[in-house]
Amino acid sequence: MNIDNLKKWSELLIAWLTILGTFIGAGYALFQYNSNINAERVKETLVFVDKFDNEQNTKSKQYIEQLFEKIDKKVYLLNKDGYGNYNKFLSKTINNTYKHHLNNILDFYDGLYICATSKLCSNEVAVTFFGKYAYDIVGTLYPYIEEQQIKYRDIKYGEGVIYFFNSYLPIKKRGMLG
């Protein structure tokens, strides 16, 4: 091999190593970028954890727990009598006080839904933190939510909590969370 061929091969090798280095650097930069985005999404989701535990939402959750206790006392008898009676019972039981607190929590879930679906929050982390409570609300109060959607011709009523209920279901079925 003469010096000219060796020089051409070394120039070609340097060019290929430069290209390879550029791709590796770009890949690493993309990885770092994605890691930072995920960290920001998790951080934004944790803001919702704080919001969920603020004084107003804590009070609303307490009222909803009281509502669940009232419903639990009657649910066996109502299920025996049929779905229609359960709907009537919910409509009578959820008075203005309960409506206010339920709407407060549904508004919270709507905000979380917007954050998660717009990819500003981590959907996975949001489902982990808030899926079980959404499951309990929708599992108990869906007939009421549906009634409000029809009554006010607003299919988006309860959309956030229903989204997290549906997102939580596969996890619940796999037995991965409560």
Report yes or no on 29 lying in a domain: no
Report yes or no on 61 lying in a domain: yes
* Residue 104 · residue 97 · CB < 8 Å: no
Give the pLDDT score at 81: 62
DSSP strands (E only) in 28-130:
none
Q: What contacts 86, CB < 8 A, 6 or more positions away?
A: 75, 78, 79, 143
Give the pLDDT score at 23: 66
Report yes or no on 28 lying in a domain: no
Report yes or no on 146 lying in a domain: yes
Amino acid at 98: Y
* Residue 148 · residue 154 · CB < 8 Å: yes
Report yes or no on 32 lying in a domain: no
| Helix, strand, coil shares, percent, the chain, to 5 | 85, 0, 15
Give the pLDDT score at 7: 75
From first to last of its 178 residues, what are the pLDDT tens digits of the chain? 677 777 777 777 777 767 766 666 655 556 665 567 888 999 999 999 999 999 999 999 999 999 998 888 776 666 666 666 777 888 888 988 899 999 999 999 999 999 999 999 999 999 999 999 999 999 999 999 999 999 999 999 999 999 999 999 998 888 755 5
Give the pLDDT score at 174: 80
Q: What contacts 129, CB < 8 A, 6 or more positions away?
A: 45, 48, 49, 52
Report yes or no on 50 lying in a domain: yes
Range of the domain at 160: 39-174
Report yes or no on 63 lying in a domain: yes
Tokens of 138: 């929708």
Report yes or no on 34 lying in a domain: no
d(CA 176, CA 85): 34
Number of domains in the chain: 1
